[in-house]
Structure 1
């Protein structure tokens, strides 16, 4: 005979892992037949005009392991292909469905506004980078002013530490100027096919442009064509990469913060 469950044991987990927020109107047509984190089923939690796509979970925290990140990403892509959505960052867990409903109710107007802004759009990444492994050497040869400064400093032997620092500063200034000019050219070239753009900081010396673009789904091919046209105007040492389509991470901002539900209502205290 199976033993009875204690008051602290649950037949199903209380926790809900969040993937995305979608309009309530699309819920009935969504295909959620894809495994979630830890192979759990997806289901919607609804409130007002919104629904959150969630799955049950027992853990309260998750490590960003490759398998889990991949599952999260696959779920987002699956939902994105079917409906407007606001993607939730990896690892957000609510203590209960009540917390999820409270979140949707509290931010309903904001979430609806963001959904309207990204509806029919996808995010594409665009990066331009120098393929030459010696970035400093390349730019010294590309910028005559920098080359002349370098030659003057080394003409009579090893320059001082201060002179090297000054040369480094000049290199950074010229590189930043080149990046800004290139980014402006890119933005001008894609403005007719992008709803919004966001220029991010380059990640290293080789990267010239790193931007995200919110692009109407019907204009993705036009965006790629515009990028190819831009790429043809760059020196052969530069590589242009387009990534995506992605959920609109850079163009949505979900304010999500869960606190434990007052220690289960003060452990049942009146």
Structure 2
């Protein structure tokens, strides 16, 4: 039997994961050492041993199941105490190896827990419609000659480039404003439309580590930004989340 580790928390006399069910419905245990606690549950070796795990990681349905269970445990634990989410499918062969992991990384874990204590992660995505109302590929009234056609295409391209520049400036301004209201920010890669399911372009994908005491101010500013009259710009906010982007444990 191996141990699947979801997160690390500061040591507590009582199990901060008491009553939480993990993978396959197994209870989440607290394995403590060096002033820290790992939240973990037992998993079968035939599914999570190195060779089997490598094969299972190629299965999307299996990954989706594991991801849901992992995030559910982290989310519930984070409502009870400060946690550092661990990377999905972090496996150790026995409890002693889990304690050794806590000892090996005790200094970095303690520092990261201090940094995120009293904070939550909020996700902010900015989308831009860069096409506006594009001219049809074949205009109702065709250009008089080839030169006119090229001028028309040039104007269309310049319009798109101008909108892209404006959108980038808006995204930069939003990032700067939110950084002033956050303890830390992390810029993730923007997402492809295939992932977002949207026709407009994701121009900013930001994670913000926001102090709980500054939550209302942060959300109020986001509400202002969402009401912005900048044409074609939309701001999307999600959270609060456990501090995945700021755990420094992956």
- Same fold, judged at TM 0.5 (above): yes
The whole-number CA distance in structure 2 between the counterparts of 1:65 and 1:230 is 36
Pairing of 1:101-116 with structure 2 (within 5 A): 101-116=99-114
1:53-93 deviations in Å (ceiling 9; x for gaps): 00001122254433332121111011101111110121111
1:39 aligned residue: 25
In the TM superposition, what is the alpha-carbon distance from 1:233 to its structure 2 partner?
2.5
The whole-number CA distance in structure 2 between the counterparts of 1:119 and 1:82 is 12
Q: Which has the larger radius of gyration?
A: 1
The whole-number CA distance in structure 1 between the counterparts of 2:162 and 2:231 is 23
The whole-number CA distance in structure 2 between the counterparts of 1:251 and 1:170 is 38
The whole-number CA distance in structure 1 between the counterparts of 2:32 and 2:239 is 29
Asked whether the equivalents of residues 189 and 230 of structure 1 are also in contact (C-alpha less than 8 Å), the reply is no
Asked whether the equivalents of residues 124 and 213 of structure 1 are also in contact (C-alpha less than 8 Å), the reply is yes
Asked whether the equivalents of residues 179 and 209 of structure 1 are also in contact (C-alpha less than 8 Å), the reply is no
> Could you say what secondary structure the match of 2:248 adopts?
coil
Asked whether the equivalents of residues 7 and 86 of structure 2 are also in contact (C-alpha less than 8 Å), the reply is yes
1:168-219 deviations in Å (ceiling 9; x for gaps): 79967973x4454223311333244311111223223611221110011232
The whole-number CA distance in structure 2 between the counterparts of 1:198 and 1:38 is 33
Unaligned runs of 5+ in 2: 136-142, 193-199
1:121-159 deviations in Å (ceiling 9; x for gaps): 1100001113x4xx4x32979xxxxxxxxx9xx744469
Count of aligned pairs? 221
1:258 aligned residue: none
Structure 2 residue 118 is matched with structure 1 residue 120: yes
Name whichever structure is richer in strand by fraction: 2
1:208-260 deviations in Å (ceiling 9; x for gaps): 221110011232222111111122234353221111111111112115xxxxx
Return the TM-score normalized by structure 2.
0.77
Pairing of 1:70-109 with structure 2 (within 5 A): 70-109=68-107
Asked whether the equivalents of residues 182 and 209 of structure 1 are also in contact (C-alpha less than 8 Å), the reply is no
The whole-number CA distance in structure 2 between the counterparts of 1:88 and 1:213 is 18
Q: Which has the higher contact order (CA 8 A, sep 6+)?
A: 2
1:239 aligned residue: 234
| CA gap 1:139/1:89 in 2 versus in 1, 3 angstroms | farther
The whole-number CA distance in structure 1 between the counterparts of 2:167 and 2:86 is 31
In the TM superposition, what is the alpha-carbon distance from 1:116 to its structure 2 partner?
0.4
Pairing of 1:176-191 with structure 2 (within 5 A): 177-191=165-179
The whole-number CA distance in structure 2 between the counterparts of 1:72 and 1:169 is 47
| CA gap 1:115/1:169 in 2 versus in 1, 3 angstroms | farther
1:54 aligned residue: 40
| CA gap 1:155/1:127 in 2 versus in 1, 3 angstroms | farther
Return the TM-score normalized by structure 1.
0.71
